[in-house]
Structure 1
Amino acid sequence: MPVEIEQFMCRSDNFGIFARDPASGQTAIIDAPEEASILAAIKRTGWTPTMILTTHHHVDHVEANLTLKERFKLRIIGPEAEMARIPGIDETVAEGSVVYLGGERIEVIATPGHTAGHVSYHLPASKVAFTADTLFALGCGRLFECKPPVMYDSLKKLAALPADTVVYCGHEYTLANARFALSVDPTNSALKERAARIEALRADNKPTLPTTIGEELSTNPFLRWHDPAIRRHLGLEKALDAEVFAEIRKRKDNF
């Protein structure tokens, strides 16, 4: 059976996410942005967490680590490259590491860019990926600790996942991302239709996630560096893919 997912809001725009293996009842928290929202979700679902899968060290992803660890005696797993900055970490992971949630295999993908040690978690049997602040719906994370080629390589890894992979991200940034996406890919009909759906969802205060790899490949400019229309719009018809990505990221930073 595929994992069960519970997604909910934390802080102002973070997503809290639980993944539960129904056979064993084991439950992972994907990052721990805020204790109160997580405790409310635990009460609502009745799921008792057994681990935290940390993607990166930023405070809005680890703030509740220590309080949740003390309360539930859970295990905290996170990237080896950032272990000194992740509160309460018990086990480190890196590219190619495997973690198990009950019988569910979780594969670790190194996705640096937003931070130097960021990782994403892929559950191939359930066709789910948790990409936190690397890949957003219609966007990608700001490059705080790495140069554009590093994030480009990370996004290539995620873009290569099966198209039907369901993607859960770290923040509700999709409306702003859609408006930017239209500025660099204005003739994309699929993007226009998606942007209209996003406007309606946010007007009703509904989440825009999850998304899928396939949907991102067709509409997310940060995965569409090869697209001739985007290249023409940017005046980069003959540029390397990584150069196109870098220009898109630069424009988003200044949008």
Structure 2
Amino acid sequence: MRVKVISVLDDNYMYLIIEERTKDAIAVDASVSKKLLDIVRKEDANLKAILTTHHHLDHSRGNADLVQRFPDLPVYGADDRIGGLTHKVIHNQVLKFGDINVRCLFTPCHTTGHICFYMWEDGCPDAPALFSGDTLFIGGCGQFFEGTADQMYKNLLETLSSLPPETKVFCGHEYTVRNLKFALKVEPDNEHVKEKLAWAKARDEDDIPTVPSSLEEEFLYNPFMRVREEAVQKFTGKTDPVEVMRVLRKEKDEFKKPKDRLPIPALLAYQWGLLSQSLPAQK
């Protein structure tokens, strides 16, 4: 299977996964329907389904338009708040689209109904892929808007860590440079962080996506995947991994916060296109 990375909005990613033999395709987080359909046409693909990681509009607002255009197009997700939802999934449910298999992994915290999608293709030697939405980012994790540190710990260190280490990680936003700057604050002597940050800065300067990473790589430089490591525990002043996760997220939320940063509700409304586009973009 081939993954088409599509940059949209300020820093979002949506994805088109194409089965090369049949040209059948699945979209993940179809936030901008017109751009998605343009890519589908250019790839001469057959759009078979939409998978939505969570209900936030910067991941789901294209669903309604797509369902209106294609009434038989299924939209999968785990939250009734997802626009255009036609099929509600549960943890460990497996969906099949031709030779492409999708395992739904329930990862509540960023939202109560967040799902990650783990994909592999029958008979294909390529590494499997994880579409992690706003649960796992390269070098970071999502904010705990509707959940707890205990939930995020289970998401990252139990659910996602059980996947093969070579699994490619395709996340929902381009936050890599900022995440790794924080990771360097947490572990200033971590050479993996330094190398990945230099690489990500070069990609960012050339406006090239930093996705995908791999789960194996995330354990080397992502502090939220390293809560059992002594250096990360020393930074937080905690030894219990869940408490380490809690303190890390609090520190990340405060990390170089811009003075003119919008309150969280207003920030989300802006990102979803509900406020004036004249407001400054935030990350």
Measured against the shorter chain, the TM-score band is over 0.9
Asked if 1 retains the 8 angstrom alpha-carbon contact of 2:23 and 2:44, the reply is no
Other-structure match for 2:197: 195
Other-structure match for 2:101: 105
Q: CA shift at 1:119, angstroms?
A: 0.5
Which shifted more, 115-124 or 17-26?
A: 17-26
Q: CA shift at 1:89, angstroms?
A: 1.3
Which shifted more, 195-204 or 41-50?
A: 41-50
SS, match of residue 77 in structure 1: strand
SS, match of residue 216 in structure 2: helix
Counterpart CA distance in 2 for 1:10 and 1:111 is 24
Q: Given the alignment of the two structures, is residue 77 of structure 1 paired with residue 76 of structure 2, yes or no?
A: yes
Q: Given the alignment of the two structures, is residue 88 of structure 1 paired with residue 84 of structure 2, yes or no?
A: yes
SS, match of residue 35 in structure 2: helix
Asked if 1 retains the 8 angstrom alpha-carbon contact of 2:140 and 2:222, the reply is yes
Counterpart CA distance in 2 for 1:209 and 1:203 is 15
Counterpart CA distance in 2 for 1:51 and 1:208 is 26
Counterpart CA distance in 1 for 2:204 and 2:42 is 23
Other-structure match for 1:240: 240
Equivalent residue letter for 2:8: C
Asked if 2 retains the 8 angstrom alpha-carbon contact of 1:21 and 1:101, the reply is no
- C-alpha deviations, 1:157-203, integer Å up to 9, x for none? 11221110011000111111111111111110011011000111101
Equivalent residue letter for 2:213: T
SS, match of residue 50 in structure 1: strand
Other-structure match for 2:110: 114
- C-alpha deviations, 1:22-57, integer Å up to 9, x for none? 233321100111123212322322223110011111
How many residue pairs are counted as aligned between the two chains? Answer: 248
Counterpart CA distance in 2 for 1:25 and 1:47 is 5
Counterpart CA distance in 2 for 1:103 and 1:221 is 35
Unpaired runs of 5+ in structure 1? none
Asked if 1 retains the 8 angstrom alpha-carbon contact of 2:17 and 2:27, the reply is yes
Asked if 2 retains the 8 angstrom alpha-carbon contact of 1:25 and 1:102, the reply is no
Asked if 2 retains the 8 angstrom alpha-carbon contact of 1:113 and 1:143, the reply is yes
SS, match of residue 144 in structure 1: coil
Structure 1 vs Structure 2: percent identity of aligned residues? Answer: 35
Other-structure match for 1:137: 138
RMSD between superposed Cα atoms in Å: 1.3
Which of residues 193, 212, 226 is equivalent to 2:214? 212
Counterpart CA distance in 2 for 1:162 and 1:98 is 17
Q: Which runs of 4+ in 1 moved over 4 A?
A: none
Q: CA shift at 1:152, angstroms?
A: 1.2
With structure 1 as the length reference, what TM-score do the two structures score?
Answer: 0.93
Other-structure match for 2:2: 4
Unpaired runs of 5+ in structure 2? 122-126, 256-283
